[in-house]
Structure formats: C-alpha cells, structure tokens
Amino acid sequence: MAWVRGLGRPERIVLVVALGIALGSLGAYIVGDLSRPVGWVGSAPLGPAVTSGFPRWGDCLIWLGLTVLWAVVSVGILRVRQPQPPEST
C-alpha cells in the first residue's frame, strides 16, 4: 500500500467510501439480497425468495467479517504517518 502514501486526505476518504460501497455490494451478492425479487402483486410476492443457502446467523457473520475488513483497511488507509527525521550518525 505504498501508493496510498502519495494520496491526499480527500483522496483517501474517497478511497475508503469506494471500498465500503464495493464491500457492501459484495456482501449483498453473497447473501443473496441483490437477487431477491422486490415488490408484491395482490397478496403474493413477485417471485420466490432467493437466499444464500446460509442460515441467518451465517449471513450475519458474513456481514460482520466484511465490516471488520472495511474498518481495518480504512484505518490503514487513513492513518497519518509523520515523516521520520533523518538519523544522524
């Protein structure tokens, strides 16, 4: 992640937001939220409910893992490193 050091603070924030959106999309795809039909006709849903095949606690663990991953990477991206003074010998 050496290339991140050359980015300014606003660029780093945009990178963190984009990472959050990407991980959110990945999580929605994994647990099947993107493939579920939306809406109702009369008293019936538009189609059968599609799930990930994981139990609900498994979906929760997937979301928790992606959230922790996003938080850890974001801290690494947003961390401000002070330049070290040159060592004199």
Going residue by residue through the chain, which has 89 residues, state the pLDDT in tens, using 9 for 90 and above: 677 778 888 999 999 999 999 999 999 888 876 555 566 666 666 655 555 667 788 888 999 999 999 999 999 989 876 666 777 76
CA distance 75 to 16: 9
Q: What's the rounded Cα separation, in Å, for the pair 34 and 51?
A: 10
Is the pTM higher than 0.85? The answer reads no
**Residue pointed to by tokens 């994994």:** 30
Which of the 8 DSSP states describes residue 41? E
Residue 44: what are its φ and ψ, rounded to 5°?
-125, 145
| Alpha carbon distance 25, 33 (integer Å) | 9
Region of residue 70 (phi > 0: left; psi between -120 and 50: alpha; otherwise: beta)? alpha
